[in-house]
Chains A and B, each alone.
Chain A
Amino acid sequence: MTTTDIHALVGAYALDAVDDLERAAFDRHVRECESCRTELDELRETAGRLADSTWSVPPPRLRSAVLGAIAQTRQVAPVSPAPMRSAQPAPRRWLVAAAAAVVLAGGASTAVYQVQEQRVGDSIATAARASAQTERTRDILAAPDLVVRTAPVTGGGKVTVAQSPSKDAGVILLGASAPPADGKVFQLWTIRGTTPTSAGVLPAGEASAVQIVNGLPGADMVGVTVEPAGGSATPTMPLVSQLPLV
């Protein structure tokens, strides 16, 4: 690879979009090329900002697993007392652009697979629905009369319900610590009087979900159950979480 080529690789390298050989070659190159090193530092810092929009709550058990693991892990020796650097930039606050990349990547797949068959069309439709849902979610959450309630989930985690009478809709957010065992799944319910209505079934292995429910303010309760894969017509007791809305 010529030198010109390798300078041009800085963007791809900062995005981890190079193969192992190119990575090694560029690693060698930046040791000698100061302009690439400076540019790489900046572009890597920039790429890191793309992670601002990926905020997601890890399962609580991960914290204890990691803290347990580090207690048994030797560290590399400090090189020398690191010189203190002047003020860091103000801490960035978490952004809520959670679905931005899904939407953008949905656009990309439109470009890529437009000649391909039905199943791809379906997935694009799903992505489009996902982005419409996100807009709707934001719309509901922005309502001035929003009421937010939370309840614990048996086994860890919580369910949050945010509803707005003026929008006649609500959003159920499930954040359980772990998905149900044995291939079972979580199912969400709204309960009006004594009549339960399914508000959605999670895929196997999933412990979190965001679900918009139209007409939610008319319901008396939101419940969560553990069901066989694919969900059930009526809730299997006991409820692992229940959240009265009135």
Chain B
Amino acid sequence: MTERARDHLSAVPGPPPTDPAQLLREVAQGDEQAFGRLYDLVAPRVYGLIRRVLRDPAQTEEVTQEVLVEVWRNAARFDGARGSATSWIFTIAHRRAVDRVRSEQSAADRVMKVGVAQVEIPHDEVVDEVTGRLERQQVRRCLDDLTDLQRQAVTLAYYQGHSYREVAELLSTSLPTVKTRMRDGLIRLRDCLGVEVTA
């Protein structure tokens, strides 16, 4: 490997330096610097998630900004007993993205857009991959463990913003079945990922 490449790789940050929950508590006290650090920690995933759902770069930017401002405004409402800070933030982001996509794009549009989606691998992930410091692709692996119907129900809803009614139609399945598959699919994912919320 060349000198140059090594220089570049050495600049790769390690795991996030600070705990998002702690930062969020500082943000709740009006600490703008803490917000800046929180931004750096979560913005790529918030932006990536919204972009995955909306597909449109301009709308993605707009909604990402709305979400992050909402995080700032409502930071005091975060309740660590009910989940992690990142999950709290992603919940806000996902809901906003879904609201936007439902108001502006038909279900059929969303199905079509996925077909032509570009493969995106952010630069820093590539660098991570090169350095081999990457965690195993746990989410992917756990999604693979679901039944087809569970996986489709969960991913159509989460990544494309479909309602369970739309999912039922898309998968030619009954409403109760779709509701059940979303629930038991998530339960299986929860167990596979080892997610715990300890109140």
Contacts and interface: CB of A to CB of B under 8 A. Distances in A.
**Which secondary structure characterizes the binding site on chain B?**
helix
Nearest to B1: A147
A55 B43 contact: no
Question: Is the interface on chain B under 10, 10 to 19, 20 to 34, or 35 or more residues?
Answer: 35 or more
Interface in A55-69: 55-59, 62-63, 65-67, 69
Nearest to B149: A111
A239 to B, nearest CB: 20
A33 interface: no
Interface residues of A, number: 108
B145 interface: no
A131 to B, nearest CB: 8
A75 B90 CA distance: 19
Interface in B132-171: 133-135, 137-140, 143, 148, 151-152, 154-165, 167, 170-171
Interface string B114-141: 1111111111111111100111011110
Nearest to B132: A142
B121 A53 contact: no
A133 B161 CA distance: 25
A44 B9 CA distance: 35
Contacts, number: 357
A130 B4 contact: no
A237 interface: no
A69 B8 contact: no
B116 A44 contact: no
A43 to B, nearest CB: 4
Contacts of B112: 119-120, 123
A76 B32 contact: no
Contacts of A216: none
Contacts of B189: 46, 49
A114 B193 CA distance: 33
Contacts of B5: 146-149
Interface in B10-69: 15-16, 19-21, 25, 28-30, 32, 35-36, 39-40, 43-49, 51-52, 57-58, 61, 64-65, 68-69
Interface of B: 1-2, 4-5, 8-9, 15-16, 19-21, 25, 28-30, 32, 35-36, 39-40, 43-49, 51-52, 57-58, 61, 64-65, 68-69, 72-87, 90-91, 93-95, 98, 111-112, 114-130, 133-135, 137-140, 143, 148, 151-152, 154-165, 167, 170-171, 176, 178-187, 189-190, 193, 195-199
Interface of A: 8-12, 14-19, 38, 41-59, 62-63, 65-67, 69-71, 73-79, 82-83, 85-86, 88-102, 104-109, 111-113, 119-120, 122-124, 126-127, 130-131, 133-134, 137-138, 141-142, 145-150, 158, 160, 162, 171, 173, 175, 179, 205-210
12 contacts: A12-B179, A43-B190, A45-B197, A47-B186, A56-B51, A62-B43, A76-B77, A88-B20, A95-B135, A127-B115, A148-B8, A209-B118
